[in-house]
Chain A
Amino acid sequence: MVYFKMAKTAIKSLIHGPSTIRYPAEPAKQYPTSRGHVTIDPSKCISCGMCMRKCPADAICVRRDEKLWEIDLFKCHVCNCCVEVCPVHCLTMETEYRPAFAEHEGVQVVKITYVKPEKKAVKKPAEDKSEE
């Protein structure tokens, strides 16, 4: 009998609690792999521009002269491509989704604070001879 089969579903629905999450009282589900938003560590970025070249949405702009890293959050579709290609791993994908924001907050500009380490001075052979 079909009605008894449906009754089983109906009774289960009555006994079972709500299937939805009581958001925002209860936080949304997140997993270690979830792609939420991209963040940058400005002290590591070497302004190579690889993320800008590989970004499929043209959301990232690296201004090497001004040492600025810029992302248009409305264009970014959180594909993780920039994180994968970054040679110094200064970009990371956070698992938290960004809250809603206004249009003027869409472009995020970060000042790159990376300082190129000084190379150790290599003594020329001629100088070495003179010292000797």
Chain B
Amino acid sequence: MSKEIVVPFGPQHPVLPEPLHLDLVVEDEKVKEAIPGVGYIHRGLETLVQKREYPEYVYIAERICGICSFIHGMTYCQGIETMMNVEVPERAEFLRVIWSEYSRMHSHLLWLGLFADGMGFENLFMDAWRLREHVLDDMEATTGGRVIQGSAKVGGVRRDISSEKLDEMVTGLEGIRGELKDMMDVFLFDSSVKSRLRNIGMLSPEDAYELGAVGPTLRGSNVASDVRMNGYAAYDRLHFEPVVEDGCDCYARCAVRAKELFASIDLIKEAVQKIPDGPIEVKVTGKPEGEYFSRAEQPRGEVIHYVKGNGTRNLARHRVRTPTMANIPPLVKMLQGCELADVPVITLTIDPCIGCLER
């Protein structure tokens, strides 16, 4: 006779490098219900707007997450710039796109590595992280930081990239593309990987939409939604099409991230071709007043920075809605009815980032 038991999963778990806790109600190795528990690394970063002036808060906004740090900083800056009617120079917008796409590549390669590790494919894990090093090297050479770039600024960007370095980056990316193709043969066509991912963690397009999934979780369920289509920064001047897969399973979400790597390389190449000369920042004076919802596409999905100014150097309110927050309800849905052994793989496919989630 079967009996219901509750299996605690996390917050410290060997396959999940994030402090996410799930109470799994299990019956005969089948998960009947998953109850998420968060709150292990809350840092109170949003409250710091009352202590830090709005130009210095960019550093705090960047430190919300260690993976998509540049995009967090950029999204915050976009909010302030719109509130204060600051027109960012065109070159700065292109540089923002380049660094955003580098961040995406870095995040996706990191995730692919962790995902391979979660499946038990150690060699593939090392291969993905080896390629990620090239991306990190380019980021450090251009911004000075491997994971925390510190290049976003209200009114533009802090650093410029010389045209020689841009050409060198494009050449390096072509090398990465060749190696990525070899790696993707294993990720997308290997039978052991397919058997581990196909028809697992199903999320129908209707459920994904209704539960508010974002990013690759949504696009893996055949919904073409991407904030980059709105044309923030310089995306409106580049050819961009979202990567969509119709599998609605773990394999589809993995494939979206894998194919987005190639899309990012194409975007960076196009941005380098089209980048204009000129200044990289404008001087911002005054104090922000008003409110704005700033949106951007992170590697994990849509991020929203809500900023509200009250006419002083400190903001009145700063609120962040991160993609992991939006992907938790779809995760709970995916986990219902799955095998206990598939829980780590399914949880990893939403690319949980608890640092972002709790701030």
Contacts and interface: CB of A to CB of B under 8 A. Distances in A.
Interface of A: 2, 5-6, 8-9, 12-13, 19, 29, 31, 33-35, 54, 56, 77-81, 84, 93
A29 B139 CA distance: 13
B229 interface: no
A7 to B, nearest CB: 11
A33 B52 contact: no
Given A33-B159, A56-B56, A6 B141 contact: no
A35 B189 CA distance: 41
Contact of A35 (B57, B133, B150, B186): B150
B141 A56 contact: no
A77 B148 contact: yes
Given A33-B140, A79-B59, A9 B183 contact: yes
A34 B183 CA distance: 30
Contacts of A80: 144, 150, 158
A51 to B, nearest CB: 12
B141 A54 contact: no
Contact of B52 (A8, A35, A56): A56
Contacts of B167: none
Interface in B243-300: none
A4 B145 CA distance: 39
B27 interface: no
Nearest to B138: A31
B60 interface: yes
B290 to A, nearest CB: 24
Contacts of B159: 33
Contacts of A77: 59, 63, 148
Given A9-B183, A29-B140, A34-B144, 17 more contacts: A5-B185, A6-B186, A8-B182, A9-B127, A9-B185, A9-B186, A31-B141, A33-B143, A54-B56, A56-B57, A56-B59, A56-B60, A77-B63, A79-B59, A81-B56, A84-B158, A93-B144
16 contacts: A2-B189, A5-B182, A5-B189, A6-B186, A9-B183, A9-B186, A29-B140, A31-B141, A33-B159, A56-B56, A56-B57, A77-B59, A77-B148, A80-B144, A80-B158, A81-B59
B143 A79 contact: no
A29 B134 CA distance: 12
Interface string B148-166: 1010000000110000000
Contacts of A8: 182
A2 B190 contact: yes
Contacts of A93: 144
Contacts of A81: 56, 59
B130 interface: yes
B150 A29 contact: no
B137 interface: yes
Nearest to A10: B123
A29 B142 CA distance: 13
Given A56-B56, A79-B59, A81-B59, A34 B182 contact: no
B85 interface: no
A13 B182 CA distance: 12
Contacts of B130: 19
B284 to A, nearest CB: 14
Contacts of A84: 158
Given A9-B127, A33-B140, A33-B141, A19 B150 contact: no
A77 B66 CA distance: 13
B150 A2 contact: no
A33 B142 contact: yes
A26 to B, nearest CB: 15
A125 B63 CA distance: 60
A35 B191 contact: no
Nearest to B63: A77
B335 to A, nearest CB: 30
A77 B150 CA distance: 11
Q: Which 10 A-B pairs have the closest CB atoms?
A: A33-B144, A56-B59, A5-B185, A31-B141, A35-B144, A19-B130, A79-B59, A56-B56, A9-B182, A79-B150
